[in-house]
């Protein structure tokens, strides 16, 4: 099975437990991380790529119009339900592949991806697509897991992330694959400097990054000039 198909099926399988596990496994820090990332965008029309159940799009909709996109219908259905339930009128959902966005060039004021870029098969292609659909002067924001920089904290965190998290995740979701995949995909993800290079080679300029919560996650901000 190709990575794309595997990822699509994996998220379909855990969609009903996704929000609960996010909140539990991050000790509710995930809300702060998404808010911080969303606040790095200018206002206007914003594309949320790999939107999943839509928490970033919902955060973005507090200041802007949001388009939530994902290739997994099961996740998007939950996103749609949450938008409706919260009576949000300036956000919508659309099925889309991050590596082949169906939007015209320069059609958004900004684009954001949270915990999604690690899952796409071709990271540079997805970053280039985000850069393509953003107007000049707009930003591309990426929120992703990182390796904490402090050695002592990193070893403690690895025990949690590589041993405890997969155990809790598989117990709650009743699926062992996805929560073992999570730590291994984070370990395989490019380091900060390498990721910045990928952003640069996708056309982004003036790249800045912010480590949050001891560097468990990093927010990257690039501009289209």
Ligand X SMILES: C[S@@+](CC[C@H](N)C(=O)[O-])C[C@H]1O[C@@H](n2cnc3c(N)ncnc32)[C@H](O)[C@@H]1O
Q: Which of 47, 98, 133, 221 binds ligand X (CB under 6 A)?
A: 98
Q: Which of 41, 60, 66, 120 binds ligand X (CB under 6 A)?
A: 120
Establish if 59 lies at the interface with ligand X (CB under 6 A): no
Of residues 18 and 157, the one with the C-beta less far from ligand X? 18
Q: Which of 67, 78, 82, 115 binds ligand X (CB under 6 A)?
A: 115
Give the integer Cα–Cα distance in Å for 120 and 172: 25
User: What is the nearest approach in angstroms of ligand X to the Cβ of residue 42?
Assistant: 20
Of residues 31 and 205, the one with the C-beta less far from ligand X? 31
- Which range, of 48-56, 148-156, 190-198, 204-212, touches ligand X by CB under 6 A? 48-56
Establish if 71 lies at the interface with ligand X (CB under 6 A): yes
- Which range, of 51-59, 148-156, 172-180, 197-205, touches ligand X by CB under 6 A? 51-59
CB closest to ligand X, residue no: 52
| In 115-188, beta strands by DSSP E | 134-145
SS3 per-residue string spanning the chain: CCHHHHHHHHHHHHHHHHHHHHHHHCCCHHHHHHHHHHCCCCCCEEEEECCCCCHHHHHHCCCCEEEEEECCHHHHHHHHHHHHHCCCCCEEEEECECCECCCCCCCEEEEEEECCHHHCCCHHHHHHHHHHHEEEEEEEEEEEECCCCCHHHHHHHHHHHHHHHHHHHHHHHCCCHHHHHHHHHHHHCCCHHHHHHHHHHCCCEEEEEEEEHHHCEEEEEEECC
User: What is the nearest approach in angstroms of ligand X to the Cβ of residue 3?
Assistant: 9
Of residues 34 and 136, the one with the C-beta less far from ligand X? 34
113: which strand partners? 49, 142
Establish if 179 lies at the interface with ligand X (CB under 6 A): no
SS3 107: coil
Q: Which of 61, 119, 146, 218 binds ligand X (CB under 6 A)?
A: 119
User: What is the nearest approach in angstroms of ligand X to the Cβ of residue 178?
Assistant: 9
| Interacting residues with ligand X between 125 and 144 (CB under 6 A) | none
Ramachandran angles phi, psi of 21, nearest 5° = -70, -35
Residues that bind ligand X (CB under 6 A): 4, 7-8, 11, 22, 34, 50-52, 55-56, 70-72, 75, 97-99, 114-116, 119-120
């Amino acid at each position: 099975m190709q990575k794309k198909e595997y990822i699509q099926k994996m998220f379909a399988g855990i969609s009903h437990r996704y929000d609960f596990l996010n909140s539990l496994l991050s000790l509710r820090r995930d809300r702060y991380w998404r808010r911080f990332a969303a606040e790095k965008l200018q206002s206007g029309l914003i594309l949320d790529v790999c939107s999943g159940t839509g928490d970033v799009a919902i955060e973005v909709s507090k200041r802007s119009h949001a388009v939530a996109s994902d290739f997994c219908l099961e996740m998007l259905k939950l996103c749609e339900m949450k938008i409706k339930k919260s009576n949000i009128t300036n956000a919508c959902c659309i099925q889309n592949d991050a590596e082949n966005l169906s939007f015209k060039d320069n059609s958004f004021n900004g684009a954001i991806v949270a915990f999604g870029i690690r899952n796409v098969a071709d990271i540079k292609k997805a970053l280039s697509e985000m850069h393509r659909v953003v107007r000049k002067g707009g930003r591309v924001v990426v929120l992703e897991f990182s390796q904490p920089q402090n050695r002592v904290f990193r070893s403690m965190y690895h025990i949690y992330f590589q041993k405890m998290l997969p155990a809790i995740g598989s117990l709650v979701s009743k699926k062992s694959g996805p929560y073992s995949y999570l730590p291994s995909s984070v370990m395989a993800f490019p380091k900060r400097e390498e990721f910045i290079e990928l952003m640069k080679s996708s056309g982004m300029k003036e790249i800045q990054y912010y480590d949050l919560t001891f560097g468990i996650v990093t927010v990257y901000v690039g501009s289209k000039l």
